[in-house]
Structures are given as C-alpha cells and as structure tokens.
Chain A
Amino acid sequence: MSYVVLILGMAVITCLIRAAVFVLGERVVFPPLVRTALEFVPVTVLTAIIVPMAVAPHGGGAELTWRNPQLVGAVAACGVSALTRRPLLTIAFGLAVFFVWQGLLAR
C-alpha cells in the first residue's frame, strides 16, 4: 500500500467535506435526523478506538486485569477527565500512571 496515496486520499476526502456546503451553498440542507446522528460521531469513533487499545493492548484476548498498564492508565485518565475536564492534565496524569505502572510491573 502506498502511504502517499493513502494520505492524499484522506486530504481529498477531508477537503471535499469541508468545502461541500461552502461551494454548493444553500442547496445543501440537513434533515434533523442527520444532524442528530452527526452529534454522536466524535464520541463513538473515539471510544471505539480507545476500548480495544486499552482492553487488549497486545491484540489478542481481553486483559481485564490490574496487570494491564494500558487499562489502569485509561481508567485513571477517565477519572481525572471526569473530575477536572482539563485535557492536558488528563493526558499528563494518564501517561504518568501508565508509565509508573508499567515500570512497577517490569521489576
């Protein structure tokens, strides 16, 4: 697979979506159902990516155990984010827990 083709394809798709309404103008109208559906896209896409990465970081079966640093770090990040809603604090704390946990398990 050529990564350049992949990247340029992504660029074309992204640009066409962004430009569609600007270029076509008032002819584009969104039914309420489509508007509602679009609201849920960011939350569902990101969650669908996070869950397999945290639950099965090695691609095999579920590692639902405290010995899985990805899962422990993800739970910690969720907690900080829910409490503070601050993105950078969430990332920093999640990463810290992940690396410390991984280090402790490796000993």
Chain B
Amino acid sequence: MSTSPTWLKELANGARDTIPMMVGAAPFGVIFGTLVTSGPLHPWHGQLMSLTVFAGSAQFIALGLLAGHASLIVVWATTFVVNLRHLLYSATLAPYVARLSPRWRWTLAALLTDEVFAVTYNHYRLAPPGAIGPHYFLGSGLAMYTNWQIWTLAGLLFGAAFPHLQSLGLDFAMVATFIAIVVPQLVALRYIAAAVAAGALAWLCHDWPYKLGLLVAVAGGVAVGVVLSRPHEQLAATGSE
C-alpha cells in the first residue's frame, strides 16, 4: 500500500468517502430506469441521458415533462432552471480548482452533482486552496458517475422484465421521490410559502400548452420566497456591521 502513488490514494479516498452517497442514489437510479421503460423513451435513451446529463433531478423531471407532452424548449428551460443550483456549488469549489488546467476544470465540472459537491467540499474546506490535488474530487465524481450508470441500467432491465408495471401507475414513484426531497427542505416559513405558491400556480396553469405553466409556477414561487427573505438578509447585514 505504501508504494502506491499519492494520486491513486487520493482517487481511492474520494471514491471511498462517496460510498454512502452511492448507496443513497441507487434506488433513484433504479426508479429512473424503470420509469424510462414506462414512458415514450426507448431504453437506450434512458442510458444515454444518464451517461451525458448525469443529473438525477433534471432527468426525472424531463421524464415527467415528456410524459405530459412538453415541448423541447420547455424541457431545456426546466433543465436550466433545475440545474442553476450547481452555480452555487461551483462558486464554492472554484478556489480549489483555480490553478488546474482547463481540461481538469471541465472534467471536474462535468462530474459535479449534489452528492459529489457535498463530499468534496467537506474534504477540501479543511485545507487552504491548492493544498489538496484534484484526484480526490475526480475519485468522488467517477465513483458517483459509475454508480449512476449501473443503477440506471438495473432499472432499465427491471422495467423491461416487468412491462406491466406501467399500467400500475408507476409514475407515482416519481411523486413519492420528489416529496421525499422537498418536505425535508421546508425548514422555514419562507420555503413553505414558496412551495405553496409554486404548487398553487402549477395547479392553476396545469393545462397550459407545453407545460409552460411549470415555469410560471417556479417564477412565482421563487418570487414569494425572495420577498419573504428580504427582512432576514437585512437583519443579517446590520448584524454583521
């Protein structure tokens, strides 16, 4: 073990620390793959999506939108909105990759999911920027990526083996999955108000063509959240002065 190069050890450490996240993502990969087989997409489209997009929530949402006959532009706009949160992740990690070559930065960026961010930031923040090389990040990202491909494939095979699943109303698995993600985030009144506003608008506009109502609902919900956040920010600003 002591003869193995440092970068290999870093790579392995990154992958090892990601194992809990991999276990957590596995059922979502299976559900995603199974849902693909019950929708308009061909199974290999599902694997292609996991291989190229590699963003769980955006992939789930695309399936839901396609089932509802959304237009190309709405799927893309929704992908954009849903993935905007990654800007915050990359802004947080940017100092730690600033001195790397462009090729490294593109590679690490492509692997930056919620889980990889959580694992890598937890590791890199302990040392000054530049002190830890990129291999830990790469190890975490590659582990998560491989994991996502395997469980997507498992879901695709499962869905293909039991084609009658779709008649059971399997899309409810997506509803339950999203509820499991949303409800724990409703930790303050402003989040609850934003969610209620988005849900109400989504319901009022749900028969708009091409699912355009979804974008209206998100804009309205975010606006409510921002308005309710202003006093908090001002308090924080005056408190720090």
Residues of A within 8 A of B (CB): 1, 3-11, 13-15, 17-23, 25-26, 28, 30, 32-33, 35-57, 59, 62, 69-70, 73-74, 77-78, 81-82, 85, 87-88, 90-91, 94-95, 98-99, 102
The CB with the most chain B CB atoms within 10 A, among A43, A81, A82, is that of A43
Q: Is B221's CB within 8 Å of the partner chain A?
A: yes
One of B83, B105, B198, B222 near A17 (C-beta < 8 A): B83
One of B49, B173, B225, B233 near A7 (C-beta < 8 A): B49
- The 3 A-B pairs with the shortest beta carbon distances in the complex, nearest first, are A44-B221, A40-B225, A94-B176
Q: Is B35's CB within 8 Å of the partner chain A?
A: no
A99 to B172, CA, bound (A): 9
Residues of B within 8 A of A (CB): 24, 27, 31, 40-42, 45, 48-49, 52-55, 57-58, 61-62, 64, 66, 68, 71-72, 75-76, 78-91, 93-94, 97-98, 102, 105-106, 108-110, 112, 168-169, 171-186, 190-191, 194-203, 206, 214, 217-218, 221-222, 225-226, 229, 233
The interface residues of chain B, by DSSP majority, are classed as helix
Decide: A38 near B61, CB < 8 A? Known: A44-B221, A78-B183: no
A47 near B109 (CB under 8 angstroms)?
no
A23 to B179, CA, bound (A): 34
A56 near B206 (CB under 8 angstroms)?
yes
A5 to B41, CA, bound (A): 13
Contact partners of A19 in chain B: CB under 8 A = 90, 105-106, 109-110
A10 near B76 (CB under 8 angstroms)?
yes
A43 to B198, CA, bound (A): 9
B175 near A43 (CB under 8 angstroms)?
no
A57 to B171, CA, bound (A): 9
Could you show 9 A-B contacts with beta carbons less than 8 Å apart?
Answer: A6-B75, A9-B76, A10-B76, A18-B89, A37-B226, A44-B225, A47-B178, A81-B179, A98-B176
